[in-house]
Structure 1
Amino acid sequence: MRILVTGAAGFIGSTVTDRLLADGHSVVGVDDLSTGRLANLTAAAADPRFSFEQLDVTSPELLALADRVRPEVVAHLAAQIDVRVSVADPLRDARQNVLGTINVLEASRLAGTSKVIHTSSGGSIYGSPARLPVDETAPVAPES
């Protein structure tokens, strides 16, 4: 399966990328490297089924990439996650997280992608849980 992973050079994105490759998938990693690091993709880069594009998810170039790659699945992990940054510059935060997600969804739609996987941190939904593991029945108590 062809999978496009946004935020691929981040901690979670690189771990997901490594797992997808280990499971036999072809992966195109996308990251603007604002917080992600290429060093996180060292193992992936050695795999011929992996390619990397340095690109911001808000860029119109993402639509062209998705059209060229035609991913069957998109795992959208790119985000501005620093609460301090979001407080200092909420418009930047909204551009990256809201408009970036819309751009990923539009690129996916135009490319005929069948699934988009979107993630969120548990802290932004469930806060500090009373018990672990946390599942969808836990009460919603966001902290940020």
Structure 2
Amino acid sequence: MNKTLVTGAAGFLGSHMVAKLLAEGRQVVGIDNLSTGKADNLRTFSDGGAFVFIGCDVADPEVLRLPELEGVTEIYHLASPASPKFYQSRPFETIEVNTTGTKRMLELARLSGAKIVYSSTSEAYGDPLVHPQDERYRGNVNTWGPRACYDEAKRLGEVFCYEYFHRYRVRVKVARIFNTYSAGLRNDDGRVISNFVTQAIAGDDLTVYGDGSQTRSFCYVDDTIRGLRLLMEKDAADGEIVNIGNPVEHTILHVAETVIRLSGSPSGIRFLPLPEDDPKVRRPVIAKAEALLGWKPEISLEEGLRRTISAYRERMQGGMRP
């Protein structure tokens, strides 16, 4: 049986990946230091059977000596704070997991002969001067600002991937992920979808920063996970950077209005100043993903929001935090 390692297993994306892999009958080892991930995300998986959880930090040098990682054939390196709220409150941890932690996972892949997918981000493009963004665009990232700890750490993680691929022929694939969402997002996550849905269900005004004309491209988590799985499977993706995101672009104001409409909320919209270095536009070119992986997203924003609103409402009415 193939053994797959998922770092950041208790996080939003990681826990969805663990569920997908277990459903496929795979043996899975999950690692998470629970700094932003939630143990509750793993409560449905039985530790010690097909799934084993290890509470540790991937940047710790001892991680390479863990006996549970012997025989690993695939590594999904998904560990990192991803919301500005969390990475700005933990800047050094964010830098560490995406640089030292990435090097540790690449070294594990080199020693074990495993394939590895590194979860980079659309933030590698910064506040882009080229629109839409394909993988050849080098980005417009501010190294001296509140988002740099995440943006630049992810970019340096990509450099480690490049070196391990070219020097050691490690079968690494880099996914630049664009704004993934679903009901699995924590309602205190601070990202736009979780904020809007939580506020709408509570009947609070939705908080829009700036005038809401800035754009994002939102990808439902099922589509993102499918893209990452294909990235791992395809040999043609070895040593490649691939955008994984939905190329349909929406203004933030339109998203807010759609959440209010779909939830039937009486909420209004409250406008606040735009945060420093907040990107004005964001839309992936996915021609490479289509060509290499045969992948494109299938779930529309409206359908994804319906699912997210329904699940958040059910949990909040049951007295549980999403």
The two structures have a TM-score, normalised by structure 2, of: 0.38
Matched with 2:34 is 33
Matched with 2:63 is 62
Instruction: Trace 1:80-95 onto structure 2 (pairs within 5 A).
Output: 80-83=81-84, 86=87, 90-95=91-96
Matched, 1:136 2:252: no
2-structure distance, mates of 1:67, 1:43? 20
> What RMSD over aligned residues (CA atoms) do the two structures have, in Å?
2.8
1:95-137 CA distance string (max 9 Å, x none): 2211111111112211221x10112334544572494284434
Could you tell which deviates more after superposition, 56-65 or 120-129?
Answer: 120-129
Q: Answer whether contact 1:67 1:110 (CA < 8 A) is retained.
A: no
Matched with 2:113 is 112
Report how many residues are paired: 137
Matched, 1:121 2:121: yes
SS in 1 for 2:57: coil
Q: Answer whether contact 2:28 2:50 (CA < 8 A) is retained.
A: yes
Q: Percent identity?
A: 34
Q: What residue identity is the alignment partner of 1:121? A: T
Q: Answer whether contact 1:80 1:93 (CA < 8 A) is retained.
A: yes
1-structure distance, mates of 2:8, 2:90? 20
The two structures have a TM-score, normalised by structure 1, of: 0.79
SS in 1 for 2:4: strand
Higher relative contact order (CA 8 A, sep 6+): 1
Matched with 1:13 is 14
1-structure distance, mates of 2:248, 2:67? 37
Q: What residue identity is the alignment partner of 1:118? A: Y
2-structure distance, mates of 1:89, 1:47? 31
SS in 1 for 2:36: coil
Matched with 1:51 is 52
Aligned-residue offset at 1:26: 0.3
Unaligned residue ranges in structure 1 (runs of 5+): 139-144
Shift in CA distance, 68/27, structure 1 to aligned 2, threshold 3 Å: closer
Q: What residue identity is the alignment partner of 2:10? A: A
1:23-52 CA distance string (max 9 Å, x none): 010000000111111110012226820000
